[in-house]
Structure 1
């Protein structure tokens, strides 16, 4: 089975799972009340929501392209753009780690070793989580909500960075892996991946890309705010930022495909704590997830379909 066929299979399974999540939300919210809420929604906000999502992708593309430059991976901006947006197809994989598909595309495109570029996906996810955590932190502190989770994620993040930035410790871990029967044959790939990770997580690029992540994900927080406005709720931007960022974090930490079920459930639950009616909370979860997650997947399908010949070698 080819890589593309495997992707189609995974997308099918994830899409089916997504449909079950939507059905569960429809049952939970009462279809009649939810339909009434959708009728009252100001659909003229949808282009604004989509535009804000696109701005998120543009800033994340800039981060991706910046990482390529740090690793001296020299491809054109057009090809970089195509690879990045094609990778959005894999947004509905656990923790978005399926976006390592971008490394496969780079290999097909310009024979770039996967072990060299794969740490970019790890760095992207790590800085995305930190960006979302910083965005959510104000709400976590203000609402006194899951402060322990904030501390736990910060601690794990610090440990990961410290280990990678300690060559002595990292080399000891790699040397240990070299003695393991099932891993020893791949240690040379592990060493190359480590060098890439070390470069990407140096203090300057780390702080710079976290700043990009904060800006990029804030656009989707604003999109969430517009969804609430569309339902006639004059909630402060802080509420929308906290709910979206925290829910996205919960979805990422869950490691479920695209955070499906967890992200939507968190949005509904958090909005309930802010006294948002059940039907509107559920409607908000459905619209923001269609406008962000599923719009990204659809964009990836379109870009990959239009450029599939680039990645097919004879």
Structure 2
């Protein structure tokens, strides 16, 4: 177990590149809303409120880690909590990749603990599935007032149903595997690996585990939605909690479906647009969006980078 994963090469370039591009994008957006007005809106969130918001987000990370441990135990790889936590957080370093695919880095780190790649990828796939279910559930809070987002939520539900069908129907997955076994080329080879992951994922999705994982997901992402509401409240924006949860969930879904790294650009644009449509001033909407993303996405990337660098020791 003396294998070392270095924060270098493509991982380092992705991390640095995403930080630089995002910083420039947020600067442009802030200037668009009026730098002075945005800065004034940010200053209204004091240190005490800011600390509470960060605490909520960290608690959400803890619940998502607990869900990760549930999946690893289901896959018969019960890791001690501290090494497992370091590995889990290190995966956040590459959150700013399309569809959070970079979090598959955890599979490389878990290899030290003799966890096969199909098993670690099954845990990651189960996480994404659970996240999608939680976001769709949160988005339903304000759907009646914003039916124009129904098509996107239906698309997410269709994707969710297809994934659940593949996980719950081993005969269907085996049939796909047999078909791919008769073909050559890179695509059939990739699909055979996907089939292995789907087979392993079944143990993560028994009814009892599914209920527990869904509750943990709803609580974890609900805390981030609550953090968004607290930011708006601290800035003096009169936005109901249900609407704040809807904005947060729809923005995250839009970011995920865009397949932009970390949802960058698309999630922020939807969040600002929905806030403005709800009567929030543009500078306040931009400030709230930037603060939320700093407290969620970029805090996660920072923690992940520290844990990934720590793995060199």
Shorter-chain TM-score: what band? over 0.9
Aligned-residue offset at 1:200:
1.8
Describe the shift of the 1:122–1:4 C-alpha distance in structure 2 as closer, same or farther (beyond 3 A).
Answer: farther
Distance of 1:211 and 1:101 partners within structure 2 = 26
Which residue matches 1:77?
81
Q: 2:137 aligns with which of 134, 138, 144?
A: 134
1:133 Cα offset (Å): 1.0
Q: Give runs of aligned pairs for residues 243-258 of structure 1, distance below 5 A.
A: 243-258=247-262
More deviation, 73-82/127-136:
73-82
TM-score of the two chains, using structure 2 as the length reference: 0.92
* Aligned residue among 25, 29, 33 for 1:25: 29
Residues in 2 aligned to 1:191 and 1:170: alpha-carbon distance in whole angstroms: 6
- Aligned with residue 297 of structure 1, among 295, 301, 310: 301
Q: How does 1:166-185 map to 2 (within 5 A)?
A: 166-183=169-186
Aligned pairs (5 A) from 1:79-158: 79-107=83-111, 109-158=112-161
Q: How does 1:26-65 map to 2 (within 5 A)?
A: 26-65=30-69
Answer yes or no: is the 8 Å Cα contact 1:33–1:279 preserved in 2.
yes
Q: TM-score if structure 1 supplies the norm length? A: 0.92
Describe the SS at the equivalent of 2:52. helix
Structure 2 gaps of 5+ residues are none
Distance 1:57 1:37 in 2: 27
Tell me if structure 2 keeps the 8 A contact 1:89–1:301.
yes
- Alpha-carbon RMSD: 2.0
Gaps of 5+ in 1: 310-314
Look up the SS of the partner of 1:138 in the other structure.
coil
CA distance in 2 between partners of 1:232 and 1:190 (Å): 48
Other-structure match for 1:198: 202
* Separation in structure 2 between the aligned mates of residue 187 and residue 138 of structure 1, nearest angstrom: 37
Per-residue deviation at 1:21?
1.8
SS of structure 2 residue aligned to 1:92? coil
